[in-house]
A and B are shown apart, each in its own frame.
Chain A
């Protein structure tokens, strides 16, 4: 259920690296915890982020949650669809609900993240 080519953080973000571009979003687990998303606050294109730095926040009806960048890099795109359709984060968190794209500064950072199997085990541990 969690895409095999993504990497995952303990804060429930995912990152997918496609050559020189990394796409970032939150996981299905995170969107379920949040409930109906109503606002997604994102940084501007060109913002330089360090790994673990706050990207912005996601507001749902009942909670607000910070989103942290899984990797360092410069923001090259933000998902403009989320302004009018924030529910994409709930409906398709691993696809159309992507949040930012960035140019990763250091590919080695992925080694510190979890692969799909590790993330799924991590989630099982949380549920206990």
Chain B
């Protein structure tokens, strides 16, 4: 199994390690619930170095990425990032990702760990007819995420980058704890926070400095267990569970990502047609109305007939409810629609609810 450069620190902290797509990663330290609550109320520090990074540069970098993804890359000034997808010609997902504009004609793609190699091959294969260079820099980069209401207070003393005026999805290069880094106001938890990328071969002092600085604020190290419960409360997609190469961008309720007016992109025709004719199914959020937890793949019944399976599901530690995501036939997706889920042989009632399940309080 691969290990990130922060592995020895996680071991020292007593992290419970599991295998995650070929990586030995911490699933929890003090417990999923305590880590989840720390991120919602104070702050949490995640090692996300297993994510993949791809550099795309060249005179046709913008044209290339415009063609490859549905969102409008031309909107990105240097320092700005956007959430988007790598789409198939059918309008379905190869992956979801962030694209950062580092400089004009120089972009950074940050992709899911589970798809790192696949995405690089996809991007490289499609680059053949464009004047661009595509480089897989995943091994060089380490990445931390500092998330929670106290994130800015904790990070500012450690960096020369002014954070107060850094807008959501903006980024800047600078030093954090002396380590040269790219810092962005992005994250996967539904809280305010920052992601920190560095190609420094010894980034351990970054981890230690943030933990030490954050301790008086209640900062905890957080594992993959709480990473999943946090993102689900915020209704953020997980490739493999909620989106994949069989679900279209529109079915996944991500219509805002598809900027049809910007020009052609892979899958545009199919998605345009679907937006005009309507979909047959759509992803919705649900809450259980009976005791239990709805987990991925549990069968879902509407009117007594099985229509699909749970995509993502868990007990939400902050909301203290069982929640999840599922694709339902488009006539059954209205908020309040009642349906049933088979929880290991026992039928439990569920109800479609508005999403996101959790929205952080406006300050």
A59 contact set on B, CB distance < 8 A: 292-293, 315
A39 touches B293 (CB 8 A): yes
Spot the interface stretch: B25-33, B82-90, B94-102.
B25-33
Name the prevailing secondary structure of the B interface residues: mixed
Cα separation A41 to B292 with both chains bound (whole Å): 9
Contact yes or no, B315 A38, CB < 8 A: yes
Q: How far is the CA of A59 from the CA of B27 in the complex (A)?
A: 17
Q: A35-B28, A35-B225, A38-B315 are in contact. Are A61 and B33 (CB under 8 A)?
A: yes
Whether A123 sits at the interface, judged by CB under 8 Å, is no
Is B31 a contact of A36 with CB atoms below 8 Å?
A: yes
Q: Pick from B31, B291, B344: contact of A35, CB below 8 A.
A: B31
CB of A45 closer than 8 Å to a CB of B? no
Give the complex CA separation of A40 and B292 in angstroms.
9
B32: nearest chain-A partner, CB-CB: A61
Q: Does A64 contact B (CB under 8 A)?
A: yes
Bound-state CA distance A59–B314 (Å) is 10
Q: In the complex, A14→B284 CA distance in Å? A: 42
Which residues in window 35-69 of A have CB below 8 A to B? Answer: 35-36, 38-39, 41, 57, 59, 61-62, 64
Residues in A with CB closer than 8 Å to B229 are 61
Docked complex: B197-237 residues within 8 A CB-CB of A: 225, 229
Shortest CB-to-CB span from B340 to chain A, Å, is 18
Interface band, chain A: 10 to 19
Task: Specify which of B32, B34, B292, B344 is in contact with A62 (CB 8 Å cutoff).
Answer: B32
Bound Cα distance A36, B34 (Å): 9
Give per-residue flags for B158-190: 1 if the beta carbon is below 8 A from chain A beta carbons, else 0.
Answer: 000000000000000000000000000000000
Contact A62–B225 (Cβ < 8 Å): yes
Q: Could you tell me if B291 and A36 are in contact, using CB atoms closer than 8 angstroms?
A: no
CB of B173, distance to nearest CB on chain A (Å): 37
A61 contact set on B, CB distance < 8 A:
32-33, 225, 229, 293, 314-315, 317
A1-56 at interface with B (beta carbon < 8 Å): 35-36, 38-39, 41
Give the distance in Å from the alpha carbon of A92 to the alpha carbon of B3 in the complex: 34
User: How far, in angstroms, from A64 to B315 measured CA to CA in the complex?
Assistant: 12
Contact A36 B344 (CB under 8 A): no
**In the assembled complex, how far is the CB of residue B28 from the closest CB belonging to chain A, in whole angstroms?**
6
Q: Per-position contact with A for B288-324: 1 when CB-CB < 8 Å, else 0? A: 0001110100000000000000000011010000000
Given A61-B317, A62-B225, A64-B344, also A36-B292 (CB < 8 A): no
Chain A's closest residue to B316 (CB) is: A61
Asked whether A39 and B291 contact (CB < 8 A) given A59-B315, A61-B229, A61-B314, the answer is: yes
Chain A residues in the interface with B (C-beta under 8 A): 35-36, 38-39, 41, 57, 59, 61-62, 64, 90
- Shortest beta-carbon contacts, A-B, top 9: A36-B33, A38-B315, A61-B32, A59-B293, A36-B31, A61-B315, A36-B32, A62-B225, A35-B32
Residues of chain B at the chain A interface (Cβ within 8 Å) = 27-28, 31-34, 225, 229, 291-293, 295, 314-315, 317, 344
Q: List 16 A-B contacts (CB under 8 A).
A: A35-B32, A36-B31, A36-B34, A39-B293, A39-B315, A57-B344, A59-B292, A59-B293, A59-B315, A61-B229, A61-B315, A62-B225, A62-B314, A64-B293, A64-B344, A90-B31
